[in-house]
Amino acid sequence: MTRVKRIKLELDEEIEFPILGISTALNDYRLAWLLNENLDLSFQKENNVFTLPNKKKELKSYEYYLHQNEDDLSKFILVKNIQQGSVLFSDSEKLDFFLVLRENYIHPIEELIRDLRMINGIVAIFPFSSSEFEFSEYLND
């Protein structure tokens, strides 16, 4: 009789990353421009969208802005919370945008939050972790 061979599958835990909730009355293109000007970033509107299912299992599309810099190993995503009547994160409907820091090896988070709060037009910044958002897994770009 042949012995059954068992294989143990080990999965790496997903790496958590910071997400900053932004409260502002600014339009998406204006906020992206202000971030570029004040923080020396290079946000550009992406032609692609990311899609994710809502509570009714319907796929919804979300537009976003992307800053990616190979030199300082940074990759930030700016996405509006409410787009075309669909809410990205319903637990934080009052937040207007999310700044997702997918890769951030040069900008200390405390300094980044301080600098964001100094931008005229930004009312408040709220730090979160990617583990608090189900949509973060769709932001792999």
Could you tell me where the beta strands, DSSP code E, fall in 4-132? 18-24, 44-45, 50-53, 59-62, 64-69, 74-80, 82-83, 86-87, 97-103, 122-129
**Has residue 24 been placed in a domain?**
yes
pLDDT 10s per residue in the chain (141 long)?
Answer: 667 666 655 555 567 889 999 999 999 999 999 999 999 999 999 998 888 776 677 788 889 999 999 888 899 999 999 888 888 887 777 899 999 998 888 889 999 999 999 999 999 999 998 887 766 565 654
Q: How many domains does the chain have?
A: 1
Residue 12: its pLDDT value, please?
52
**Has residue 12 been placed in a domain?**
no
Q: What are phi and psi of 100, to 5 degrees?
A: -95, 120
Residue 9: its pLDDT value, please?
55
**Has residue 83 been placed in a domain?**
yes
Segments forming the whole domain that contains residue 122: 18-138
**Has residue 10 been placed in a domain?**
no
pTM: 0.83
